[in-house]
Amino acid sequence: MTALSRSRGTALAAAVLLSAGCSALARQGQAPAASVSAADQMRADITLLAGDQFEGRGTGTPGNDSAAAFIARRYRALKLMSIAQADRAACVTGSRQGTADCYVLPFTTTVSARNAPPRSLKTQDVAAIVPGTGPLAGEYVIVGAHFDHLGRDSSSARDPEKGRVIRYGADDNGSGTVVVMEIARRLARTPTQRSVIIVNFTGEELGLLGSEWFASHLPVAKDKVQAMVNLDMVGRLRNDKLIVYGVSTATEMKGLLDSANVAPKLAVAAIGDGEGPSDHAAFYRKDLPVLHLFTDLHDDYHTAADVAGKINIDGMVRVADYTERVVRAMADRPGKLTFQRVQTAGANRPSAAQGSGVYLGSIPDMGAADVKGMQLSGVRPGSPADLGGLKGGDIIVKFGSKVITNIYDYTDAMSAYKPGDVVDVVVQRAGAVVTLKITLGKRPG
């Protein structure tokens, strides 16, 4: 919160009134007033998206459908252009133009399930266009984030023992959704030369379903797309650290990102990889330059504890400011970005399950790509890692007999063990080499 400039009681009362006003705006899907700050609007939006009303936004659930409708109403209120499709011409030029449902893009997909046959699922993305204002208006930058989460489904949760409670998904990915909505608000006021496609994907948690569908059904020619910018888990900024993947997917990208990082600067950890288990990967696989902005994993990831009250709103505003500068630089530069494919060792974020049902409870520092070993940002309290003496900041350099140089070595090493095994883990800690003896646990559920 900002510093109190008047008496504590007066300021608190003012804050409560302002928050209530923003929440009303969020509920009604109205266009935010110019007088409403980015921080207040984003706080109201994430409180709503990660609240009981949408029940964790699980794909295919009423909560997910309601969240899509809320986002669509916001884009209608901002008077953004709806997406043209072959069977939806009336949404662009006809009688339905400007109606909220025109921003909803329905599709049917097939979902694979563990120990069950594939099932057909009807769901939807939400998208809109901010038209460009210059001679490059026929070219596009795509800015997106997934709005789905786990809902009440415990199968992919890291706390399955809690059963069918709501996994609210405030950071994953209410945070990215809200930043994309804020970017849309800013661009609607001051458009760029190129047009910007704003898109919110569903089905990311089920396997990039919404982004794969959208990338395969682009509303514009692929050669007219400058780049895709993805925001996924950007609500827990710590120590000014922002991880940005995809920096090597265009030759001009690093210079563009550096120029956008103005004072007070973020500590940007730039990683070249354009792959990974988030929505940018669907566009990278279509040979488009991509970026993925990410404020790192935390212990609440995929649990019921990922709630709005833990979001760093001021940090999220800084991410929005930086993203806006990046998008404007992409959209206003005279030339096209030069795509290049990146050699990569694998995904940029580990799955919740590691090894053969083995559980350690370590939290990788995903921005430490230049560290030889696997650096930890923390450990889960009460986990085998915690009980065995691992700490945040430790760099795992050996796991049993296997030397660890990166996260992929680590996951490979874990797969060789079973719950109950005792393993020697060698770490670098504050310049010293420490050997720990850790009993591996069994992943809950």
| Strand-pair partners of 395 | 375, 428
pLDDT in tens, 231-288: 999 999 999 999 999 999 999 999 999 999 999 999 999 999 898 889 999 999 999 9
State the average pLDDT over residues 119-130.
Answer: 95
Q: Tell me, yes or no, whether 251 lies in a domain.
A: yes
Residue 146 to residue 202: CA distance in whole angstroms: 6
Q: What is the pLDDT of residue 5?
A: 32
Residue 411 has pLDDT above 90, yes or no: no
- Percentage of the chain lying above the pLDDT 90 cut: 67
Judgement on whether residues 205 and 258 belong to the same structural domain of the protein:
yes
Top-confidence residue, 360 or 355: 360
The count of domains in the chain is: 2
Residue 190 to residue 188: CA distance in whole angstroms: 6
92-106, 166-180, 392-406 — which one is most confidently predicted on average? Answer: 166-180
Contact 279, 204 (CB under 8 A): yes
Q: Tell me, yes or no, whether 288 lies in a domain.
A: yes
pLDDT in tens, 15-74: 333 334 444 445 455 667 667 899 999 999 999 999 999 999 999 999 999 999 999 999
Judgement on whether residues 255 and 328 belong to the same structural domain of the protein:
yes
Q: What is the pLDDT of residue 112?
A: 76
Mean pLDDT, the chain, rounded, equals 86
Contact 224, 250 (CB under 8 A): no
Domain boundary among 317, 332, 347: 332
Q: What is the pLDDT of residue 347?
A: 41
Judgement on whether residues 316 and 426 belong to the same structural domain of the protein:
no
Judgement on whether residues 256 and 401 belong to the same structural domain of the protein:
no
Judgement on whether residues 74 and 148 belong to the same structural domain of the protein:
yes
Q: What is the pLDDT of residue 344?
A: 56
Q: Tell me, yes or no, whether 3 lies in a domain.
A: no
Residue 435 has pLDDT above 50, yes or no: yes
Judgement on whether residues 323 and 373 belong to the same structural domain of the protein:
no
Top-confidence residue, 5 or 406: 406
State the average pLDDT over residues 412-441.
Answer: 91
Judgement on whether residues 177 and 239 belong to the same structural domain of the protein:
yes
Residue 131 is part of a domain; what is its CATH number? 3.40.630.10
Confidence of residue 320 (pLDDT cuts 50, 70, 90): very high
Domain boundary among 295, 314, 332: 332
Q: What are phi and psi of 303, to 5 degrees?
A: -130, 170
Query: Residue 45 is part of which domain span?
Result: 18-332
Top-confidence residue, 125 or 99: 125
- Percentage of the chain lying above the pLDDT 70 cut: 84
Q: Tell me, yes or no, whether 286 lies in a domain.
A: yes
Q: How many helices (H) and strands (E) does the chain have?
A: 10, 16
Q: Tell me, yes or no, whether 132 lies in a domain.
A: yes
pLDDT in tens, 187-242: 999 999 999 999 999 999 999 999 999 999 999 999 999 999 999 999 999 999 99
Burial class (CB in 10 A: 0-12, 13-18, 19+), 161: exposed
Burial class (CB in 10 A: 0-12, 13-18, 19+), 122: exposed
Judgement on whether residues 310 and 387 belong to the same structural domain of the protein:
no
Domain boundary among 332, 367, 389: 332
Judgement on whether residues 377 and 308 belong to the same structural domain of the protein:
no
Q: Tell me, yes or no, whether 56 lies in a domain.
A: yes
3-state secondary structure 301-326: CCCCCCCHHHCCHHHHHHHHHHHHHH
Q: What is the pLDDT of residue 365?
A: 79
Contact 93, 103 (CB under 8 A): no
Q: What is the pLDDT of residue 325?
A: 98
State the average pLDDT over residues 130-154.
Answer: 96
Judgement on whether residues 94 and 170 belong to the same structural domain of the protein:
yes
Top-confidence residue, 256 or 114: 256
Judgement on whether residues 307 and 412 belong to the same structural domain of the protein:
no
Q: Which among 375, 419, 365, 426 is positioned nearest to 400, based on CA atoms?
A: 426
Q: What is the pLDDT of residue 89?
A: 65
Judgement on whether residues 229 and 317 belong to the same structural domain of the protein:
yes
Residue 426 is part of a domain; what is its CATH number? 2.30.42.10
Q: What is the pLDDT of residue 369?
A: 66
Q: Tell me, yes or no, whether 298 lies in a domain.
A: yes
State the average pLDDT over residues 144-160.
Answer: 93
Residue 186 has pLDDT above 90, yes or no: yes
Q: Tell me, yes or no, whether 399 lies in a domain.
A: yes
Q: What is the pLDDT of residue 371?
A: 81
Q: What is the pLDDT of residue 83?
A: 83
